[in-house]
Structure 1
């Protein structure tokens, strides 16, 4: 099984003569087929950790490894989805999805098939020729997911991808993300400020505090696995255990905020 790790990572912010530790001896792993969620107050280092995993931010000390092989810089094995969808406005929906495949040199016929498959997966097959300016916020985020998945990454890194969406659209996107996880087996790292979202989507949930960034608790909620077993997002969120765990996690979050 593929595993992406930060091993004894150390990172320090330096400005002039001032040095401030971001984190020290941080170790964290993401398994392919798992869903890791980072939850914590603003400024605790969630996005910095994601950037390290993605290869955007080098460590001062320590290693980022994939299957025990050291990594440096971004790669196609790790795809990133941001809150700002970062779509290319001069391309239509299908051409946005296939751009990574084109860069990789995938032949045109194969690119088209992969693009069509992922547009179908995220429910946008009927919008393939649409300019992205005509898509809603939720549709644009689905398109961003399709583009990230099209390059067949082992790991998908998502930095608050649903933060700007309304509540109904956000819940639909949560269900879609769980469906993608079920059907593709890709490993997820997700950053969120939502306690409900963290509980629902995580197989491994890290509550962070900082700076410097520290792991306060590591929990393994059952709800994402229960979705795989056939329960719906709505039924899971209505479950008495979900309500109890939500309150407990909120209490812990308030302690570090």
Structure 2
């Protein structure tokens, strides 16, 4: 069994790979508990991934070190941390400096390339929202604050006070009659506007992009989407699978 791990900014996600079949994605958010305790609670009863461990990490060096130490202590194994490259799995990186492209974005592109044929727009709605276009090769991308990040930033930089969360808005409203719904709609419309602007630009050039969404904020956006899309919660893990399969067979 192989273990594939996606260490994001807000949560760690994983799945096992057995005989080229990927299990359902599991996830735990980073909370006040230490990462070591969270890993022990989640993984101590897992089968030892004797065929290897592959990791996408954008959570920083400290969390990577904790992860490596836990695996060495409990499984006597060292994980392989995947790096962004200039070319892999049939995709060429558009960045002048390929290493500047986050490995999660790179793997999401690889995953999308293996799941869908033709031009795609890949949008990851997490702590940050990233949008990348793949048309034969990576065309480049855009980064903006995520839905929850925008919500928290507005409240922390103004005197606006609300007791509700982003999910508590009036789902039927187009324009708001209360502050919380006004904030929520403004944020969600900003994201939808970005998608429409980028996809519309390519449509004017004669390209029809398939929209692929991933990330924890997708459910908040779904009611507002008027385009056909595919939601792939484990897109990064699908990319890791493609890399591992290409490298190890």
When normalised by structure 1's length, the TM-score is: 0.26
Q: Which has the higher contact order (CA 8 A, sep 6+)?
A: 1
